[in-house]
A and B are shown apart, each in its own frame.
Chain A
Amino acid sequence: MSGGMTPATAPDLFERGLARRLGERAAATDVASVPLERIHARIARRRRRRRVRASVGAMMAVAVLVLTTTAIVRSRDPDPVTSSGRDSMPLLGFANDTWTVVRQSPGTQYAVVDGPGADAVALIVTRDGADLRVGRIERSVDRSIENMRGILQVGAISLGGNPTPSRPAVWWAVAPGFTATVTGNAVGAYTDPTELLAATVEIVEVDVSAWGERGGNIDEARLDARAATGPSPLW
Chain B
Amino acid sequence: MDGDDDRTAEFEAFCCEQWAMAVRLARLLTGAAVDADRVEALVAEAFAETYERWDGDDPEALLRRRVIAGCATTDRRGRAAPDDGDEPYAPLVRPDLLDALVGLPVRQRTAIVLRLHHGLSDQAIARAIGTADGSVDPLVTDGLTRLREATGP
- Give the interface of A toward B (CB within 8 A): 1-7, 11, 14-15, 17-19, 21-23, 25-26, 29-32, 34-36, 38-39, 42-43, 45-46
Contact = CB atoms under 8 A, between A and B. Distances in A.
Interface size class of B (residues with CB under 8 A): 35 or more
A6 B140 CA distance: 13
B45 interface: yes
Contacts of A17: 97
Given A14-B144, A42-B45, A25 B120 contact: no
B124 A34 contact: no
Given A5-B121, A7-B122, A34-B15, A15 B20 contact: no
A46 B52 contact: yes
A126 B64 CA distance: 66
14 contacts: A1-B21, A1-B118, A7-B115, A7-B137, A7-B140, A11-B116, A18-B144, A22-B117, A29-B23, A31-B20, A39-B47, A42-B45, A42-B47, A43-B51
B148 A14 contact: yes
Nearest to B12: A36
Interface string B51-62: 110000000100
Contacts of A31: 19-20, 23-24
